Amino acid sequence: MSYPYTPEDPLKYWSYRYDAGNHEWHTETVNPLLVKYYGRLNPDGSVKKILVTMCGMSVDMNWFVEKGLEVVGVDIALQGIKKYMSTSGHKWSESAAPQLGPDAQLFTVPGGSIDCVAPYIVTEMVQLSCIKLLDILSAIEPLDIVALLHMLIHYS
């Protein structure tokens, strides 16, 4: 499938993909690798808040809430978060978040269990995610790393 926008213009590219209904990377089930490795990544339950980058319509956010975590989701495309919130079963509010960017919107579930922001592009966040990814990869079996990388390559 070709797109009128290229990944070099990520905001238009991802917005178009959501608008066109091309978001096959989102599933209706929690990522099985997350389920498999959650105990290794948070063995003592000391993690209480999690950052979900590229959250879009991820049902993983609800799963984290069920585990007792507060979730902060960020994504470049407003459409993904709006679709997630409208189907999540949560009551939520939307408000401008100019301190995070001129067009940023904050989506909040009362009680503070989930906060999502879009559009959000921050180089430091990508660097932080990569550092955390190295920690995560050290807890994952090699064959599952290959499966995860395949999934990332296939859907990008």
Domain span at residue 71 reads 10-155
Q: What is the pLDDT of residue 36?
A: 87
Do the Cβ atoms of 80 and 18 come closer than 8 Å?
yes
Q: Is residue 34 part of a domain?
A: yes
Residue 3 included in any domain: no
- pLDDT of 7: 65
The pLDDT value given to residue 37: 84
Q: Report pLDDT for 155.
A: 44
- Is residue 1 assigned to a domain? no
d(CA 98, CA 64): 27
Q: How many domains does the chain have?
A: 1
Q: What's the pLDDT score for residue 110?
A: 82
From the first residue on, what is the mean pLDDT of each consecutive set of 10 residues in the chain (156 residues)? 67 82 79 85 84 83 89 84 86 85 84 78 48 52 58 46
CA-based Rg of the chain, rounded to a whole angstrom?
Answer: 16
pLDDT at 128: 46
Which of 14, 37, 11 minimizes the C-alpha distance to 148? 37
User: Do the domain assignments include residue 108?
Assistant: yes
* pLDDT the model gives residue 141: 62
Residues present in the chain in total: 156
Output phi, psi for 155, to 5 deg.
Answer: -95, 0
Question: Does residue 86 belong to any structural domain of this protein?
Answer: yes
DSSP string, the chain: ---SS-TTSHHHHHHHHHHTT--TT--SS--HHHHHHHHHHSTTS---EEEEET-TT-THHHHHHHTT-EEEEE-S-HHHHHHHHHHSS---EEEE-GGG-TT-EEEE-TTSSEEEEES---HHHHHHHHHHHHHHHTTS-HHHHHHHHHHHHHH-
Q: Answer whether residue 73 is part of any domain.
A: yes
Does residue 85 lie in a domain region?
A: yes
Q: Residue 146: its pLDDT value, please?
A: 58
Q: What is the CATH number of the domain that holds 32?
A: 3.40.50.150
The pLDDT assigned to 20 comes to 84
